[in-house]
Structure 1
């Protein structure tokens, strides 16, 4: 039976790869290319990045000291301890920021994003702990500043060099994952077409196996057939196969079980393609419930988001910020009172976790008659209801500072989907099918939608739909580091965004 050219399946980008495009790196590894694959080289690059990061952090720490005090200076035991502990903290912070994940190292943007998050998070922790413990004053500020700058520059250089190495490895097909598919059906056709569309997937489909070749096979798969499952094991043992994707229907239980028993005898990853109904969900997790395997298709992170870690984050951040801005709160309260008659704090019922109502607090930014009216209308540009002080507060988001009291009392979280007026919830909930999924966690002061441009007035259904999509993405992908990323992005965007008025 005729084999097919993998380049036709992977995509047009493979046709333009020159054999020697990897330069010295490709030449060095070309001899082992028959056995080489992504499963070997991606861990190699990750470990290389980790080792080089540790090396440059230590180098910058010692280098900063000798730049400040000269080559003849003697570094004390406390100085040695500072360098080693700082290196450890930054490496752990980079790990927490997922800077060493396989998916992240394949993208320069992801590498730089995770570097910024992990490095500045670790550096902030070093500075805060050093300041609170009083040990930071024992070290030269010039030394610490020089080392910190060198840390970042050298870590950045590591990633630029790694990106170049990965580019050359890609050109030499060293990072392509080789897969075979079992089952010549519509699911297999969907997988092949998806790989064709994604030119950066780094996946090479070697071919398709199926026992029942006499039945109808999709035309797009016919040229890719490699044979029946009887010859599949021999093929796997003589070719560099990384993964076997079983696309057979789950109703064929006995056939699938027999096939899986065969496949477990060869050293490849085995994947089962789920039923079509599962494909629509963005995140799927497998776990066991009393020993019974179940697929979690949504809301897998809700327990963590409503847990102690998230609550500690809220209490610590809101408590510190309220202590720091208490004079600002007093000044704003006085300005609101002098600017127009009425209460300083505006209160409104909103939906919170699980659609439970709570009272949200903000500095009043509108005339009291308009605030007290029964009509709920979103603020618009040049809105006549907004007071002079209120306009400044809304543009700078300072009107939302009382939200931190909502956080302290447990009504809200620092990060989460923004709470909307109940009237708006009823309107959009009747139109957008998954709208109320936003309320599966506590509402937040800022969120993933806001830092991605969906902040302020939602005057079209499309804007609200996009906001809901970003809110659900946050709920499904929540992590403590994602919260930190959103807080950093909020600090930058709040002053430059023009959609709040």
Structure 2
């Protein structure tokens, strides 16, 4: 029997090819345009399929979506298809000799997104009706006394159409029916219970002095065909959830963000192209700001300051100079404040409008920064805050950005540092290309002119 994941890939492939063909037909048969690109479109088709299927796989769209909301699945489809389309544009830009019109790619993106989303919605509705009739259910046996089990059950029951049925609880050690969320207690040997209940999966978790029972159970039943899933007892917060295999030993990274390398490539590659294009477009603005800085006070146009970036490495971050040149180098280690006497009138203007930040486009082109990310601090403050603020150094797990989640939430200048760090950690934990797009969009309305920008 064809498994669900393979069926989804086959249908997605058909949708991708139909969308690509539809975009071609609309563009060249119903609208005026180039002719004779049919062979080129056929050559590109396999790459579109492979890129999109890979993007969907990385977005976990071919895994079980039982414990995922309808909205999350639709959003994942939208995000993955957009990432694939952006990558396609970049790939064609650097490799294709024939020019594929942007209108064609845009039409393909629109058609494929609508069809892929409609397919997922239809599939969910069909599965829900099938499960309401008692088919395609997942019967789960709970074993152990861990609090993680109760959390798992509560989450599973939030998704009404998941098809998960808890058939019983073994070895709960006196937990009340209320604690067990009315799952019946099962007594007897595991073999007898498994034979009578026929579970599709076993969820096990022990805590405290009985945690050894988890390893014992796995050792005794490792060769069973029924899937065994372990809920580990973790009492600390994690930024990521990367699990590596170290010669058979599972190793969990707790302070490394779980970043998709494919999306990171799009982030940095797309950011570079956008920055290069932006530098050309705003070159007149850069010229007039540079002229204003030069006329406002003696000294260099640009001001370079050491900042701490990715993995704690220092780099020189550039700004348009907004202050008179300091006599004492220690004055450059000041926390940003509104009443700095060295600030010029023109400097006050470019700070309030964030025009002083534009030279950091050079840092982006050099690969030291990116358009969106946690804002970098001076080494002096980094060394100070790392001993005062828990989790502060986690912000250095990504390249620093010209704008960030903290900045679009009004946390600039002399604002609450703890809240800024919370925003940075939130950004790292929840990073996606779409969060970057959202931040860039909000920067236009909130970031450039801000009451805390000075």
Q: Does structure 2 conserve the Cα–Cα contact (< 8 Å) formed by 1:244 and 1:269?
A: yes
For residues 260 and 73 of structure 2, what CA distance do their matches in structure 1 show? 31
Higher relative contact order (CA 8 A, sep 6+): 1
For residues 191 and 29 of structure 2, what CA distance do their matches in structure 1 show? 67
Q: 1:124 to 1:253 in 2, by over 3 A?
A: closer
The residue aligned with 2:416 is: 460
- In the TM superposition, what are the counterparts of 1:393-408 in structure 2 within 5 Å? 393-394=350-351, 397-407=354-364
Q: Structure 1 residue 48 and structure 2 residue 11: aligned?
A: yes
For residues 32 and 283 of structure 2, what CA distance do their matches in structure 1 show? 42
Q: Structure 1 residue 57 and structure 2 residue 20: aligned?
A: yes
The residue aligned with 1:107 is: 73
The residue aligned with 1:204 is: 164
For residues 418 and 463 of structure 1, what CA distance do their matches in structure 2 show? 13
Q: 1:329 to 1:429 in 2, by over 3 A?
A: same
Q: 1:324 to 1:90 in 2, by over 3 A?
A: farther
For residues 60 and 267 of structure 2, what CA distance do their matches in structure 1 show? 24
- What's the offset of the Cα at 1:84? 2.3
Q: Structure 1 residue 493 and structure 2 residue 450: aligned?
A: no
For residues 342 and 272 of structure 1, what CA distance do their matches in structure 2 show? 64
User: What SS does structure 1 have at the residue aligned with 2:40?
Assistant: helix
The residue aligned with 2:144 is: 183
Q: Does structure 2 conserve the Cα–Cα contact (< 8 Å) formed by 1:179 and 1:203?
A: no
> Between Structure 1 and Structure 2, how many residues are aligned?
430
State which of 205, 210, 213 in structure 2 corresponds to 1:247. Answer: 205
- What's the offset of the Cα at 1:486? 5.6
The residue aligned with 1:152 is: 109
User: What SS does structure 2 have at the residue aligned with 1:216?
Assistant: coil
The residue aligned with 1:470 is: 426
Q: Which runs of 5+ in 1 are unaligned?
A: 1-34
- In the TM superposition, what are the counterparts of 1:18-33 in structure 2 within 5 Å? none
The residue aligned with 1:432 is: 389
- What's the offset of the Cα at 1:124? 5.2
Q: 1:376 to 1:128 in 2, by over 3 A?
A: same
For residues 114 and 302 of structure 1, what CA distance do their matches in structure 2 show? 14
Q: 1:61 to 1:409 in 2, by over 3 A?
A: closer
For residues 280 and 443 of structure 2, what CA distance do their matches in structure 1 show? 21
Q: 1:437 to 1:122 in 2, by over 3 A?
A: same
Given the two structures, how large is their TM-score scaled by the length of structure 1?
Answer: 0.69
For residues 247 and 115 of structure 1, what CA distance do their matches in structure 2 show? 37
User: What SS does structure 1 have at the residue aligned with 2:140?
Assistant: strand
Deviation digits for residues 134-183 of structure 1, max 9, x if unmatched? x22xx7x6xx63x3453233223314422531452364264865432222
Q: Structure 1 residue 351 and structure 2 residue 298: aligned?
A: no
- What's the offset of the Cα at 1:251? 1.4
User: What SS does structure 2 have at the residue aligned with 1:349?
Assistant: strand
The residue aligned with 1:333 is: 290
The residue aligned with 2:322 is: 365
Q: 1:314 to 1:66 in 2, by over 3 A?
A: closer
Bigger mean CA deviation after superposition, 160-169 or 364-373: 364-373
- What's the offset of the Cα at 1:462? 4.9
